[in-house]
């Protein structure tokens, strides 16, 4: 199984079912940094663009409207290409 799962442009019903509007928002300026996930994070990107490269893997481009799961155990390098604004939730 991939360590990053992306659902492009989920329906408003799907977002409501997950309760995305109630999740906190995280913002990050253009930058590059490592993130290692000890638990699974689900994120819904509102603005910006990021390239997430899993350790030993290919970069994954994440854009506004993407619902993304970063699975527990993922070690990754993030490059925020355009200032990022996303909802996030830990399962």
DSSP secondary structure letter of residue 73 = T
Residues forming beta bridges with residue 91, ordered by sequence position: none
Each residue's pLDDT tens digit, 8-67:
999 999 999 999 999 999 999 999 999 999 999 999 999 999 999 999 999 999 999 999
**pLDDT on residue 8:** 97
- Please give the domain boundaries of the chain with CATH numbers for all domains: 4-90 (2.60.120.10)
In 8-79, alpha helices (H): 12-18
Query: Which tokens is 54 given?
Result: 């899993």
**Segment holding 16, helix H or strand E:** helix 12-18
Residue 19 CA to residue 89 CA, distance in Å, equals: 10
pTM: 0.95
């Amino acid at each position: 199984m991939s360590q990053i799962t992306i659902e492009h442009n989920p329906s408003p019903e799907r977002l409501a079912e997950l309760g995305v509007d109630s999740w906190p928002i995280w913002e990050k300026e253009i930058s590059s940094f490592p993130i290692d996930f000890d638990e699974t994070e689900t994120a819904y990107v509102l603005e910006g663009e990021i390239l997430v490269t899993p350790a030993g893997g290919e970069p994954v481009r994440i854009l506004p409207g993407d619902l993304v799961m970063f699975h527990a155990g993922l070690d990754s390098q993030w490059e925020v290409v355009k200032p990022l604004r996303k909802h996030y939730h830990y399962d």
